[in-house]
Structure 1
Amino acid sequence: MPLSSVFHTASLRDQIAALGDEFAIEGNFLRHDVINSGHINMTFRAEYASHNGKVSRYIFQRINDAVFTRPRDVMHNVEKVTRHILWKMRRVIRPHEFQTLNLYAARGGRNYLELPGAGYWRCYNCIEHTHTYDVAETPQQAYEAAQAFGAFQELLCDMNPADIHETIPYFHHTRRRFDRLMEVARQNPKGRLESCARELEFVRAHESCVDVILDLLAQGEIPTRIVHNDTKINNVMLDEDTDLAVCVIDLDTVMPGSALYDFGDMVRTMTSPAAEDEEDLSKTFLRMPMFEAVTRGYLRSARGFITPKEADLLAFSGLLITLETGIRFLTDYLEGDVYFKTEREGHNLARARTQLKLVADMDARMEEMQACVRQIMHEHEQECPEGYEA
């Protein structure tokens, strides 16, 4: 029976089992389980027993082509990046515990399956003996995650960004995000403007921030790099015994951009103790020990390629990406909650408020944040007096 027919008529178990044949997985299918940690793609972990009794596990994933409307471009990027990282890992000494994501070839010669009516599927190796955290609970966890994302950028810094597709156009184009918010505010399609007037005014007061990185990229003063674009701590697999970083995952948003976007999102997601939708804003603030840990971890890996101009903007990038995220939540609230999933009335407004509260705290502590970055950079310069490679 053709695989597309299996997906329309068979049980989920039989569907997952059939995928193994398409990706030439060795052995007999035993079982599968659903991985619910992600919010976009459908992900399954499947077990197979080889002829000698060894049990191996694999990850099957269906790409959400409603979010990623150009799934072939996504897979082009993932294939390019994983192959390059593997090539580098084979030639550069790395800690033995560090692993890489690898794609398995599918029938027809591609690294993915395109099934009419059933979407786009791929198969990864399973990164064993690891776990993830949804929130950075300790500075050490933040340090490890930041070091892993820095290493990810370092492994890709010799790739040509022109070889990677922009799968979500203008993803971090903060000027476009800002202008869209102002346009929606003028239209006020759902009559919600009055309830967020204070937040809108706060964003307007920070308009001078939105073009800083965009202008520097356009002028060539900071380089365009291949970056991850989703640097939450749960996109780093950590060793289940030691909590050391093992592998960066979720590569669907890998695109050309600025390294500062990745660092800024680490600061946004790892330095505040509050949930993203916390309504008690007193719980949302910048934890300097976490900021220091993120900075130390990132620069531990990135110090060999980051430029002085990029280093000068590390603290600012945290404020910028937090502001951008607040703008996105506020825009969606005014438009009637059409993009982000919501669970209650005013959910997106609550999310916007936590982001803008964190921006305000970063504003107040920017000199302290910048001094922290300078101190860590100085320490690295003492270790490497010959300087840094641009």
Structure 2
Amino acid sequence: MAYDFKKIVGSFAIDGELMRCERYGEGHINETYLAEVNEGGKTVNYIVQKINSNLFKNVDKLMNNIRLVTEFNREEIRRRGGNPDRESLSLVYTKTGAPYIYDEESGGYFRIYIFITDAVAYQVVEKPEHFYQSAVAFGDFANLLAQFDATQLYEVLPDFHNTAKRFRDFENSLNADKLGRAKNVRKEIDFVLKRKDYCSRIVDLLKSGKMPTKVTHNDTKLNNVMLDAKTGKYVAVIDLDTIMAGSICYDFGDSIRFGCNPAAEDEPDLGKVNFSIELFETYVKGYLTALGGSVTAVEKENLAFGAILMTYECGMRFLADYLDGDVYFRTHRAGQNVDRCRTQFKLIEDMEKCYDKMCEIVNKY
């Protein structure tokens, strides 16, 4: 539908005239637009987003999460002599000081961010340097927020990386076996059951306080990193809708899960699915170099395990969805969720075989 962007943008503390506002980027969750504003004869760009309130039910708490984290980030960046408008996702507040508006005419929630200039986001890793820069980005993101009290964040997606609960959900799907599919994937089911002990390790460390609870991004893909258009170096981390409290091992592990496998996530030929120890070292080097002294001993001890855990959790979720009738993850062909879980389990087998080497690499940096 068409939105009255002049009215929407006019609700925010922007001193200028809106020239145009058009769809922008490749995001699938929120509707994103690029607004061009004439501010005293100079064109200034902003990102306008209509928030997906069907997915994010409590917009107020979602936006408070983003407000808390971005303001903390901006202050840390100022303290180290950086440019917060460029190096952090930055909200533009409304004229009344709120981080978003509700537009009654469209029934939509809108927010505006400062546009990060002279920077690009890649959809796929085109060369190892991209993967390295994403590691630096998320390592620095974790370092900036190391002293932030993550317990004040609203849990946008409850129990998102509570692997112990994910296992119970899997057991429920298996026991129900609504469509009688369990007989087709007995090997995969046994794979999950055999590794049940993986589930509670990080959860228990967090619960006991032995591992610190920190801010997690929870969507550590390359396309959520802005790279300098000229130098190719990391500029800023974007898309903070899923920030929550958790372990840095989750973000690290999920990056490894999808970044160290050259094959597609649903590749039917498992011969093409391989864990790259070289790419693992590339990521570890960038991540730990940027994270610096803020990483604790128990976090470092569990980084390599985090890669296995996040791969296990993801594969288990694909398998459970297959048992449930392919109702959560979008599929385009029969058996796609089975192929997805098999790629994850192949990666786990590879990682288990070279786990000692993975730990050596982590300890090297």
TM bucket by the smaller chain?
over 0.9
Letter in 2 for 1:340: F
User: For 1:97 and 1:217, how far apart are their aligned partners in 2?
Assistant: 33
Alpha-carbon shift at residue 297 of structure 1 (Å): 0.7
Match of 1:139 in 2: 128
Alpha-carbon shift at residue 98 of structure 1 (Å): 5.5
Match of 1:104 in 2: 92
Match of 1:65 in 2: 53
Match of 1:216 in 2: 205
Match of 1:309 in 2: 298
Task: Give 5+ residue unaligned stretches, structure 2.
Answer: none
Which digits, 9 at most, give the CA deviation of each residue in 1:274-314, with x for residues without a partner? Answer: 12222222222111121001100110121211111111111
RMSD: 1.9
Which digits, 9 at most, give the CA deviation of each residue in 1:217-259, with x for residues without a partner? Answer: 1122111111211111111111122210011001011111011
User: For 2:50 and 2:40, how far apart are their aligned partners in 1?
Assistant: 28
Percent of aligned pairs sharing the same letter? 39
Which digits, 9 at most, give the CA deviation of each residue in 1:58-86, with x for residues without a partner? Answer: 11112222222222111010000000111
Give the secondary-structure state (helix, strand or coil) at the position aligned to 2:293: coil
Give the secondary-structure state (helix, strand or coil) at the position aligned to 1:186: helix
Distance 1:335 1:306, change over 3 A: same
Match of 2:234 in 1: 245
Match of 1:258 in 2: 247
Kindly indicate whether the alpha-carbon contact (under 8 Å) linking 1:97 and 1:246 is maintained by their aligned counterparts in 2.
no
Which digits, 9 at most, give the CA deviation of each residue in 1:145-168, with x for residues without a partner? Answer: 111111111111111122211121
Residue pairs, 1:353-364, within 5 angstroms: 353-364=342-353
Aligned counterpart for 2:162 among listed residues 168, 173, 176: 173
Residue pairs, 1:36-185, within 5 angstroms: 36-52=25-41, 54-94=42-82, 99-116=87-104, 118-185=107-174
Aligned counterpart for 1:236 among listed residues 219, 225, 228: 225
Match of 2:180 in 1: 191
User: For 2:26 and 2:234, how far apart are their aligned partners in 1?
Assistant: 18
Letter in 2 for 1:164: L
Letter in 2 for 1:219: S
Alpha-carbon shift at residue 186 of structure 1 (Å): 1.1
TM-score of the aligned structures, taking structure 1 as reference length: 0.89
Distance 1:364 1:161, change over 3 A: same
User: For 2:316 and 2:4, how far apart are their aligned partners in 1?
Assistant: 41
Kindly indicate whether the alpha-carbon contact (under 8 Å) linking 2:32 and 2:47 is maintained by their aligned counterparts in 1.
yes
Kindly indicate whether the alpha-carbon contact (under 8 Å) linking 2:85 and 2:114 is maintained by their aligned counterparts in 1.
no
TM-score of the aligned structures, taking structure 2 as reference length: 0.94
Kindly indicate whether the alpha-carbon contact (under 8 Å) linking 1:138 and 1:290 is maintained by their aligned counterparts in 2.
no
User: For 1:65 and 1:284, how far apart are their aligned partners in 2?
Assistant: 37
User: For 2:64 and 2:204, how far apart are their aligned partners in 1?
Assistant: 28
User: For 1:76 and 1:194, how far apart are their aligned partners in 2?
Assistant: 46
Task: Give 5+ residue unaligned stretches, structure 1.
Answer: 1-10, 377-390
